[in-house]
Chain A
């Protein structure tokens, strides 16, 4: 079974600075998806960024980028120019690919989360 580990329960960053959140995972599959979700105090789960394992290029979305190291099974999230609105719980998640599962398993496996505080 796949597992996702976030080793940093809490992180803090100064506004306008850069912070990196760590995530490692364990899988025997070669094709899968990785996601970072953000959950602010409102409790709405918001997709931040996603990465397909077969793509070597790291995904980016504005101030958010990932460092995907497939061999090391590492998937870290970098937030640049941090803003107060970035304060939230961040979850890393893994999902097998459609082809691997035969369309029968879209289960997301989540890490325990990292609580990010942004200091003004």
Chain B
């Protein structure tokens, strides 16, 4: 399995500001993913981030709102831009373990926008 860490673990932000969430993996992985879990809801994929290429966004998510960086095979960032209270969610980083084809999740970043 892969060990995934995220920073920050939680934050409270003012509307109109931006927050960058970091995801670090203990091994090199090709594919990383960012999910959002709104309060009391299931997980929804925001985008897939592959090293060396532009992130691929799911329907309803755009790069201007959720820019993603993937500078190497162990690290990625997700920025939540121009935040509003509707962005209050848990944001989770996820990776695929190549051999097992199993997806593992980080501990999540709990974001509250006031």
Q: Which A residues have a C-beta under 8 Å from some C-beta of B?
A: 33, 35, 37, 42-47, 50, 91, 95, 98, 106-108, 110-113
Contacts and interface: CB of A to CB of B under 8 A. Distances in A.
Contacts, number: 49
Given A42-B107, A45-B43, A91-B42, 20 more contacts: A37-B105, A43-B110, A44-B105, A45-B92, A45-B94, A45-B108, A46-B105, A47-B102, A47-B103, A50-B102, A91-B43, A98-B101, A106-B48, A107-B33, A107-B45, A108-B33, A108-B43, A108-B45, A110-B42, A112-B41
Contact of A35 (B35, B103, B110): B103
A47 B101 CA distance: 12
A44 B107 contact: yes
A43 B90 contact: yes
B42 A106 contact: no
Contact of A47 (B44, B45, B104): B104
Nearest to A97: B101
A92 to B, nearest CB: 10
Contacts of B42: 91, 110-113
B58 interface: yes
A45 B96 CA distance: 14
Interface string B83-114: 00000001010101000011111011010000
A17 B40 CA distance: 27
Contact of A106 (B103, B107, B108): B103
A47 B33 CA distance: 16
A46 B31 CA distance: 19
